[in-house]
Amino acid sequence: MKVNLSQALRARREARGLSQLALAKRLQSSQSSVAKMEAADQTVSIDLLVRGLVILGAKPRDIARALGREAGAAA
C-alpha cells in the first residue's frame, strides 16, 4: 500500500513540474522527508503520503485508484 502511494506521489509531483523541495515547502517539511516519502521509507506514515497527494491535487478517487493497484495485483 505504501509503495503505491509513494509512486503516485512522485508521479503527481513530477507531472506538476515540482521539485522535492517545492513540495516540502507546501508540506511545511524538508526535502529529505519528501525523498523518504517517495522511497516508501518505513518511517513515513500513510497519513503523510495521503496529505502530500491531497496537496498535489489528488481527489479521493485518485488515492483509491493508487490503492487499488495493490488490490488488483493481490486478486
Fold of 2-74: 434 Repressor (Amino-terminal Domain) (1.10.260)
What Rg value do the Cα atoms of the chain yield, rounded? 12
The pLDDT of residue 32 is above 70: yes
The answer to whether residues 52 and 34 touch, using CB atoms and an 8 Å cutoff, is: yes
User: Would you give the DSSP letter of residue 44?
Assistant: S
Res 75: pLDDT? 41
- Full-model pTM: 0.87
Q: For the chain, which residues make up each domain, given as ranges?
A: 2-74
pLDDT tens across 33-71, in order?
Answer: 999 999 999 999 999 999 999 999 999 999 999 998 754
Q: How far apart are CA 57 and CA 62, in angstroms?
A: 9
